[in-house]
Amino acid sequence: MGLVFKNFVVQHPPHQISIKDWSLEDEQSWFLFCSQGLNLELLWQAILDASNNQLVGLEGVPQRVALVSLSEQQRLLEIELAKEDTDFTNEVDPGTSVEKLVAQHLFSSQELEPLLHQLDLVSLRSSGFRQLSTGETRRLMLALALAKQPQLLLLDDPFAGLDIEHQGQLRDIISGLSGDIQILMSSSREQDICEGINWVSEFSTTSLTRCLSKAMWLSDPLRQQLANIAQAGATKVLQLFKHAPHNYPAEVLFALRDGKVSYQGELLFKDVNWTINSGEHWQIRGPNGCGKSTLLQFISGDHPQCYCNDIEVLGYKRGHGESIWQVKQGLAIVSSALHLAYRVNIKAFEVVLSGLFDSIGLYQKYGEKERHLAHKWMGLFAMSDFTNTPFRELTYGQQRVLLILRALIKRPKLLLLDEPCQGLDYLNRELVLAALELIGQQKSCQLVYVSHYAQDRLGCVDKLLDFEMTSSGHYEAHLSDLKVPSL
């Protein structure tokens, strides 16, 4: 017998999970599905705790349990930041190397090379943790989990941030492991369910509601019902978002001429010539580490090398006396980098309000009108019950919702979206995508969008920038048009 939950309850206000009766056979691997609001992090932590100590209502947890989650990724960053010595050396601290981090978790040093090859980390072995892209960091987290040789593997949104090639590799890894160890996996996309995972447990916001086979669940009407709910919610989002007062007459919103980026003498990309004209929506595609997030940071002004390049943003020539705040007035961004940097533990509604001031944290005075607006946005995404909850007491997915609202409340001219749905539950992911589609169709603002998921593609996107590797080892950008269906 594997895991057995019997009258199990775990609480961490304002969150709770209860499981009346759930038995998992040793050979069974499960997909955990929640439509909205469940704090799965509570369940993962309870299982980890039960691997070392007895826990009321939970039996059969093996000694070796490993977890891969965005919250664990955040926790490792916190550890790395605590060790940072940049202030003492006047050099940017890249963080602990990939090789050293993996080696710390191995039972034998002989396992290092096979594991680095399995997760395609050989070329990154000397790279510091803080130098990795989102997808590269994800592969590292998977390597750290597998290094523990787990008997039970917990995977929370494991494909988040991975490019198409590495999604396929991970799918093969999970399918191969499912015959040897037990896997519990969660995701907001049914397409992520791998071979070997044949059972689904469905949760409400607080409890397990039913268990069924994968075949039965895939034919269940619930997901279509949730999509319909999301579409209705997206219409309300559009109503609150539209009629934004934009005073940027320039036809060119962004221009990069002969763009180039290198790190420690290694060229990442060069000769990138890219213009975002008024009315265009763009998607940036390419493998992990090619420079997609870097391009968005060129637009937002958050990358140090943007001042070494010929850039124009919203009519301002970068590096010619403009204030960064002048440029940011017309921009908003959602990204993993922002999420990692948002470490201020203010109230949830204040995180939303901080978008009006382009700040991490809230330092300006605000009135009742602004507070009411923040509450209105939070209500559209079922976050009203968490208005005064400190940011860092929320789940990763709830934090990401707040950062999306932080961008939307501003109603920017140019909305930069770097894997915006990362960490979201099913209903909020559907709602965000449907809302962005309507906003894009109505030209209420212009979108620059990064996503590796084909099913997350926005139909309003009419331009593509694809990064491809050259024979010289750096990336080059290819621009193309997409046909957008007429309304």
- C-alpha radius of gyration, the chain, whole number: 23
CA–CA distance, 229 with 3 (Å, rounded to integer): 34
Torsion angle of the four alpha carbons 99, 105, 108, 109, in this order, in degrees rounded to the nearest 10: 10
pLDDT at 321: 61
Residue 245, pLDDT score: 55
> Domain 229-481: which topology?
Rossmann fold (3.40.50)
Q: Compute the distance between CA of residue 43 and CA of residue 155 in angstroms, rounded to an integer.
A: 12
At residue 36, the pLDDT reads 87
| C-alpha closest to that of 178 among 193, 195, 163 | 195
In the chain the first and final C-alpha atoms are separated, in Å, by 55
What pLDDT does residue 198 have?
A: 94
Task: Give pLDDT < 70 ranges for the chain.
Answer: 1, 85-92, 243-250, 319-323, 484-487
Burial class (CB in 10 A: 0-12, 13-18, 19+), 383: buried
> What's the angle, vertex CA 30, arms to CA 58 and CA 47, rounded to 5?
30
Which CATH code is given to the segment(s) 4-222?
Answer: 3.40.50.300
Q: What is the pLDDT of residue 484?
A: 61
pTM of the model: 0.92
- Where exactly does CATH 3.40.50.300 map onto the chain? 4-222, 229-481
